[in-house]
Amino acid sequence: MTRDARSDDLDQGPEDEVVPVGTEADEARDAGDAGEEAAAAMGDDALADAGLPTEGGTAAARGPRASLAHRLYNGEAGLDVVGRSRLIYRITAVIMLLCIATMVFRGFNFGIDFAGGNSFRLPGSEQQLEQVRSAAEDAGADVASAQIVGGDTVLLRTGALESDAERTVVAAIADAAGVDENQVSPESVSADWGRDITDQALVALVVFLIAVVLFLALRFQLKMAIGAMAALVHDIVVTAGIYALVGFEVSPSTVIGFLTILGFSLYDTVVVFDKVDENVKDLDKSARMTWGEAANLAVNQTLMRSINTSVIALLPVAGLLFVGAGLLGVGTLKDLALVLFVGLAAGTYSSIILATPIVADLKEREPEVQALRRRVLARRSSSARQTGAATVAGPVASARRARRPAAGAATAVAELPDAVPADVVVESPSSVRPEASGATAAPRPGARPQRPAGKGRPPGKKRR
């Protein structure tokens, strides 16, 4: 044998061996060739995106983690709200107990409209406000508030006064403001009027709550109505407790503010519940996640929308409260601004953090949801045994895409089990067997396409 012949024999490797078509070696050769062709077609950027080593053998470095704002906007924050429901309940209970204690021991500062009293209107300016207030107190009146309304009118509110005491106060404040007594407009407000306002407000609140329960029960389900009611109770208690702690006067504007925040909190809660209802639809058929995980996913998907809505609503209210009442001293609407600010913040917390975990915990008591949970966990356990990984709890439901494998990480290859669970689809060449007409049937998902009959390589032909 010549040197050239020996060299040709040595150059001929396993790739040049004759492989019969249809054998296991042919299947392995085709899979290997496909992988090599795909790897050759991929550039370094594509390999880096896939977390695979580049052509030089260096591991592709994974890019920096996305910022919190980016993950929030894409629903990828991964907040485990439903999974931490017990901690959320404890924190909420402590806050509500403190607010109830504040209302019981400190009480509310009811204004003239609820406690009864007298009010006086007279022409005046900001410079005369303190003089008018001091003159009324020197005349024996218990001044509840003194403020400028309309730009050129002083509004003075005092406790209940008798007729003689009222005339004395009128004379005193008219002299302090430098106006005639007939320019002072006294008015007496009975406490019965305040009670009527309170009763009407309570009736409106009850009607509102009944309508909310009926709507949520018909549109979604009764358990969601219970969760929304719990969130509304939380908002009322927290807002009332902070209002009592600050000590602002309770006025009709306060009642209006309470009714307003209930509507806002309910609106935000309904948005979250609508996404929950969308995620759990046909969940028992796919069994891709538990009911609680689907609800948690809805919270993450609507998180940024709820934050944006709340911030936009809080900005003008904060300007009215802190800039108007705090810096400029214009306290005409400070009672309304405080109720709205605290109520909007509490409503945001309850609609995102509190309402959905309550519904999820109530749903987990249903036999159908418990059966779904067992199916999901059984499927995950089966998948973990097939891949050789340890059985772990379900992931935090979020819109986050699956992370790429770490650079240079080895890929685990598991052997096929002896027995395959019933819910695992087994692919085989028989599932893609050609039809009788000679055409090749469309392969099932995951199955490798087969060559049409008569179009394969002739037996014994070498692969180059």
Q: What is the pLDDT of residues 84-138, one digit of tens each?
A: 999 999 999 999 999 999 999 988 888 777 777 888 888 888 888 888 889 888 8
| Same domain, residue pair 209 and 137 | no
Q: What CATH number corresponds to the domain at position 352?
A: 1.20.1640.10
Nearest Cα to Cα of residue 353 among 37, 81, 58, 47: 81
Q: Is 270 found in the same domain as 142?
A: no
* Calpha distance 280→352 (Å, rounded): 17
- In the sheet that holds 185-189, the strands lie side by side as 143-149, 153-158, 117-123, 185-189
The answer, yes or no, to whether residue 420 has pLDDT greater than 60, is no
Rg, Å, the chain Cα set: 37
pLDDT at residue 69, rounded to an integer: 64
Please report whether residue 349 resides in a domain: yes
The Cα-based distances of 445 to 29, 34, 87 in angstroms read 21, 18, 43
Domain boundary among 189, 213, 230: 189
Is residue 277, in this structure, part of any structural domain at all?
Answer: yes
- For residues 82 and 361, what is the distance between their CA atoms, to the nearest angstrom? 8
Strands 153-158 and 117-123: antiparallel
Same domain as 295, residue 209: yes
Say whether both 94 and 133 belong to one domain.
no
Please indicate, yes or no, whether residues 215 and 230 belong to a single structural domain of this protein: yes
Nearest by Cα to 395 from 316, 288, 319: 288
- Rounded CA gap, 183 and 453, in Å? 109
Per-residue pLDDT, averaged over 271-289, amounts to 87
The span from the first CA to the last CA of the chain, in angstroms, equals 25
Q: Is 92 in the same domain as 159?
A: no
Question: What's residue 165's pLDDT?
Answer: 86
Average pLDDT over residues 48-53: 46
32 vs 219: which has the higher pLDDT: 219
Enclosing domain of residue 38: 15-59
Does any domain span residue 33?
yes
pLDDT of residue 229: 93
For the chain, what is the domain count? 3
Last residue of a domain, one of 139, 171, 189: 189
Question: In terms of domains, do 351 and 281 share one?
Answer: yes
Could you tell me if residue 130 is inside a domain?
yes
Residue 152 included in any domain: yes
pLDDT class of 444 with cuts at 50, 70, 90: very low
CB 300 within 8 A of CB 398: yes
Based on the domain organization, do 218 and 156 belong to the same domain?
no
CA distance 98 to 448: 65
Looking at the structure, do residues 164 and 237 belong to the same domain, yes or no? no
Query: 185: domain CATH number?
Result: 3.30.70.260
Contact 291, 369 (CB under 8 A): yes
Same domain, 122 and 155: yes
**Domain identity same for 162 and 217:** no
Contact between 324 and 333 (Cβ < 8 Å): yes
From 153, 168, 189, the end of a domain falls on 189
53 pLDDT band, cuts 50/70/90, is: very low
* Structural domain includes residue 429: no
Residue 74 falls within a domain, yes or no? Answer: no
Q: Per residue in 226-249, pLDDT tens?
A: 999 999 999 999 999 999 998 888
Please, which residues have CB within 8 angstroms of residue 387's CB and are 6 or more apart in sequence?
Answer: 412, 414
Same domain, 22 and 46: yes
pLDDT in tens, 129-168: 888 889 888 888 888 878 887 677 888 888 888 888 888 9
396 within domain boundaries: no
